[in-house]
Structure 1
């Protein structure tokens, strides 16, 4: 598994870049004299480009050396973050975030397919787990760590940290990976074809709305804390969110394995999110309670991916790469939509303390759809059980 580690260095840098902007928005707003509703669109454009880059640009990489493809994507990612660090206007910052999202999306898709092709079939799950672990570690440890640096040296220092990590990952990928050909990530046509299954379409729709609610609100956490409770240091709350996510991923996997009912596990995740969002405003004046709520929120947010992937793979296990790519795109497109929606709400005059209620409303929509999915899955399971004909044994 050591040969997979260079890929993990890249996803570690990606994990930081995908989520660290949340804590940097106040500094960015001050630097460019724009409101939080506008600076939050740096998250929207990054996640939107992340979501669409793999299917659009992935076909161009097919058949080429993975070292060159991964290297090129990391060069783009690193140069884009360099541009973010030195941006002299908000428009230039937005452009750099879009380019970073393209590089991150292409790297992520190629890294996952490369990891699965570098090991025997029986070790693929572990290999993919390591690559995903890079993303998780980047979010859980890298984001709070980067915010510590930013708190001392300014938001641009966090961008320089990502540049350094991207450079290290680039050197490792280009010198340590073997020369193998890159496979084509699932195309838009393949994804659309699978979406003709209404069960897949419903699951993807729920994933998109869930991410819009959770990550859309998370984008404006620093602004929310400052406006609602005068909290200027968001770091402890982001630590709680990230560490809660690590715990949530583990226990969600255990729960799915124990019950075999990912649809109902996802419903429980929605209920947890709803409870957090409707109580967040009243909890913020009480730091201990607020930290617990952020931990629960993080656990639910990170747990929302596992049940959906399990469900999709159970429906189309023969198209694993397509359904996993669909779920990933739904997550990042939902994140982009949520950030854009919350930002637009603020521009239209909605008070910051109403954002959790908007997120709660979206979660109710997702929950209603998820309960329908769970009920249908349960009904199908019961029908399948009734149709099983017991084998009669010859008494002789």
Structure 2
């Protein structure tokens, strides 16, 4: 498990980078004399690049070079954040965020599969929870710290902090991570065949809708809470803490539960019910008093982060050693594609001068659709025989990694 925690350290850097920008949107928009919706597209760019990179680059990477892929993706991620810190225009910032998304997408897909391969099956849920826990810890610890630093030293300093953490993670992995076992090579065509598995398609669809709801709304956390209807919150930091602390708790508690429940269908149903309810109650709670909104925000963070652990585990169980990692990569792609779609739709809402208070209601609707898909598509697919793992010709291990 020590090596799994080392992989989780890299995920910590990714979690900080992916979510700190939500708290920096107003500052970045002012710096570049742009609208919040325009600045918000750097989140869309990051997540869209992430979604594309996860399946494509994982396929192009040689099956015997997982360690090289982990190190290379983390290096791209760190250098792209350095580029973000020195960007002189919003356009250059968007380009840098895209490269950061490519590095993050490949790293997390490889880290999840590597973590699962480093432990026995009985501890797979815990190993996956460490990766997601690293992401959520980067949020709960790093995001408020990053916003605080930005308020006192500028948003560029925050991105330099992300760069430094990424490089430290890179150095640790370079020194400690051994050559990982080669996996079976899977082509893009075979990857597409995994999607045709009804169970995989329905599980990935649930992840997509949950991401539209949860991560899409988080992108505009600051302007949403600044709405007069939501109480006109100026200091977003306590609310970021509530969401992040909830995420850390949910990420780490869900692992042992998944290990005890071999088919975590009911866990996912419960998580989606809580996600829908917390998003739906966010606006009414804030209308009474913004402090009351801390409760649904904490629940939202907890279940939003907890969801992906049973999702990843269910995909690994459904597809086996060959198809499982492929399905996990597709799930990660859907997760961040959903985030990109959610943040893009939020940007459209702000460009139309809609009040930010409407976004939690739309997010609750997306989560409800995910719940319906879980109760119908996933349940129906579970009644069918599990999909046959993707067949692929073994490839010779490349020398070195």
Bin the TM-score by the shorter chain.
0.7 to 0.9
Match in the other structure for 1:389: none
Structure 1 residue 248 displacement after superposition: 2.3
Distance of 2:54 and 2:184 partners within structure 1: 9
Inter-CA distance 121–279: structure 2 relative to 1 (3 Å threshold): closer
Inter-CA distance 66–210: structure 2 relative to 1 (3 Å threshold): closer
Between 1:101-110 and 1:89-98, the stretch displaced more is 101-110
Structure 1 residue 108 displacement after superposition: 2.3
Match in the other structure for 1:198: 198
Match in the other structure for 2:238: 236
1:322 maps to which of 323, 326, 330: 326
Distance of 2:254 and 2:181 partners within structure 1: 35
Asked if 1 retains the 8 angstrom alpha-carbon contact of 2:122 and 2:259, the reply is no
2:375 maps to which of 371, 374, 393: 371
Inter-CA distance 187–220: structure 2 relative to 1 (3 Å threshold): farther
Instruction: Render the CA deviation track for 1:89-125: whole Å, top value 9, x for unaligned.
Output: 1111100000101111222233344445556777766
Asked if 1 retains the 8 angstrom alpha-carbon contact of 2:144 and 2:241, the reply is yes
Inter-CA distance 264–224: structure 2 relative to 1 (3 Å threshold): same
Asked if 1 retains the 8 angstrom alpha-carbon contact of 2:211 and 2:338, the reply is yes
- Secondary structure at 1:40 match in 2: helix
2:279 maps to which of 277, 280, 299: 277
Asked if 1 retains the 8 angstrom alpha-carbon contact of 2:48 and 2:336, the reply is yes
Inter-CA distance 298–2: structure 2 relative to 1 (3 Å threshold): closer
Asked if 1 retains the 8 angstrom alpha-carbon contact of 2:133 and 2:248, the reply is no
1:249 maps to which of 236, 248, 251: 251
- Secondary structure at 2:227 match in 1: helix
Structure 2 runs not aligned, ≥5 long? 386-401
Distance of 1:116 and 1:311 partners within structure 2: 12
Asked if 2 retains the 8 angstrom alpha-carbon contact of 1:265 and 1:307, the reply is yes
Between 1:207-216 and 1:284-293, the stretch displaced more is 284-293
Distance of 2:335 and 2:369 partners within structure 1: 16
Distance of 2:362 and 2:138 partners within structure 1: 28
Match in the other structure for 1:350: 354
Q: CA RMSD in A?
A: 2.8
Structure 1 residue 254 displacement after superposition: 5.5
Distance of 2:59 and 2:262 partners within structure 1: 36
Between 1:111-120 and 1:305-314, the stretch displaced more is 111-120
Q: What does 1:155-234 correspond to in 2, within 5 Å?
A: 155-179=155-179, 183=183, 187-228=187-228, 229-234=231-236
Asked if 1 retains the 8 angstrom alpha-carbon contact of 2:124 and 2:259, the reply is no
Asked if 2 retains the 8 angstrom alpha-carbon contact of 1:253 and 1:306, the reply is yes
Inter-CA distance 289–148: structure 2 relative to 1 (3 Å threshold): same
Structure label with greater radius of gyration: 1
- Secondary structure at 1:48 match in 2: helix
Match in the other structure for 1:386: none
Asked if 1 retains the 8 angstrom alpha-carbon contact of 2:116 and 2:128, the reply is yes
Structure 1 residue 134 displacement after superposition: 2.6
Structure 1 residue 344 displacement after superposition: 1.5
State yes or no: 1:294 paired with 2:308.
Answer: no
State yes or no: 1:26 paired with 2:7.
Answer: no
Distance of 1:179 and 1:73 partners within structure 2: 16
Asked if 1 retains the 8 angstrom alpha-carbon contact of 2:15 and 2:137, the reply is yes
Asked if 2 retains the 8 angstrom alpha-carbon contact of 1:55 and 1:186, the reply is no
Distance of 2:179 and 2:232 partners within structure 1: 54
- Secondary structure at 1:227 match in 2: coil
Distance of 1:125 and 1:34 partners within structure 2: 43
Structure 1 residue 242 displacement after superposition: 1.1
Structure 1 residue 336 displacement after superposition: 1.0
Distance of 2:158 and 2:182 partners within structure 1: 31
Structure 1 residue 167 displacement after superposition: 1.7
Inter-CA distance 349–380: structure 2 relative to 1 (3 Å threshold): same
Distance of 1:217 and 1:152 partners within structure 2: 26
Structure 1 residue 81 displacement after superposition: 0.7
Structure 1 residue 176 displacement after superposition: 3.1
2:344 maps to which of 340, 344, 358: 340
Distance of 1:54 and 1:156 partners within structure 2: 27
